[in-house]
Amino acid sequence: MISIKNRHFNVHRILLLAIGLWPCQRSRLVQFQMILCFGILVSSIGFQLLTLITTEFTFDHVINAFSVGLVFTMYVIMYNAFWYNFTEIVERPLEELQHICNELKDKEEIVIMKKYGDNIKRFTFYALVLYICDLIILLPTISLSIMPNTFTVALHISESELRHILYKYIPKYFVDRKNYLCVVLLYFDAIVCIGATTFLATGLMLFAYLKHACGMLRIASYRIKKAINIRNNICPKNEAIMYKGIIYAIHIHRTAIKFSTFLFSYLHLSHFFLIVVGVICLSLNFYAISKIVSHGDKVDKFLFHFIIVTVIFVYLFLANYAGQELTDHNNDVFFTIYNVQWYGTPLRIQRLILFLLQRGSKTMNLSLGGISTLSLEFFATLTKASISYFTVMYSAQQ
């Protein structure tokens, strides 16, 4: 028996608990935690846009403000999607996955599901390493704000130089940065930590769900092969076993389709807006990077925008890769039906296989608001679109 929560979703549980989105009894403390996290993320958008009022209004400054503000908008979209559809996205899929795993009795099927779970754990580990590295680069101000004296001695810089360094990381709000430096620093660091954790936790959760759906489709292929391989020495008993085996394969195939489509039915609109905002944000950050390179600005600004571009690219790629892999696994089920020696089976089994082959003419896709589907081709289209928008902006300013 496979314990889904403890074996495959242990890290996801910790990350979602940190932002108040893990399935548990919603006490007042948890509700306060969710409201606080969501409020901080929403306020970050407003404060970032307020910098347009408190500073000189230029095209480059508008680009810089929106290149960061749209990142915060993506955080809000994902947090709101999981908060609003808490039961349908987090609780119910976990219960369904546990029920599916409990029904697995064949040792090979259990091995297949464990293999996909182990792949999820390895991928989660790599994502955590990238997440920690990003925070180390993006939040150097945490240690500086907590222990300024220690760093001034270690780095051999004066306190005035230290504050000048910190100002580069802080937008100019309506408050006085000189007197409220630590408060603004903590607020800025909270935005980045909560937002990055939301992005990572929700993305890993959805990726893990789709990988488990791929595991179910792999089990469907295994059941079809196992059922057809007993075609020798056909007798009424073996024919009944073959018929039952194919029915079991159809059952888990339908379960995988229902699981993934039901899950994505609550997320297709939020992911559609997320991808639209992501493409625009990519274009703006491309433009900001080009200006930094052309003006010969310091490395820290380049690194900041480069990390944003990298994270969005990785997220868009993994989302489309998961959709492509689900489609490929679904196609593999019908390739398996084509490749098995179905012509050696009884006539009743052949009729059932013919019905399955007709069903295979319909591809399985994860739709985005009925406009497009998640696939590697769609990822290439998004990349071309973001580069095209960047080229238009860059050309207009020359």
- For 26, list phi and psi in degrees, rounded to 5: -80, 85
Following CA atoms 175, 171, 278, 132 in sequence, which dihedral angle do they give, to the nearest 10 degrees?
-110
Predicted confidence band at 233 (pLDDT cuts at 50, 70, 90)? Answer: low
The total number of structural domains in the chain stands at 1
Q: Measure the CA angle with vertex 159, ends 154 and 165; round to 5°.
A: 85
Q: How far apart are CA 177 and CA 175, in angstroms?
A: 6
pLDDT tops 80 at residue 350:
no
Nearest alpha carbon to residue 148 among 181, 115, 190, 117: 181
Check if the beta carbon of residue 260 is closer than 8 Å to that of residue 367: no
What is the pLDDT confidence band of residue 152, given thresholds at 50, 70 and 90? very low
The pLDDT-based confidence of 216 (bands split at 50, 70, 90) is very high
Q: In Å, how far are 249, 339, 342, 386 from 353, measured between CA atoms?
A: 11, 12, 7, 45
Is residue 289 over pLDDT 50?
yes
Both tokens of 277, joined, read 């905002």
Q: Which tokens belong to 257?
A: 């389709």
Domain extent at residue 255: 4-396
Angstrom distance (rounded) from CA 37 to CA 16: 12
| pLDDT averaged over every residue in the chain | 79
* 104 three-state secondary structure: coil
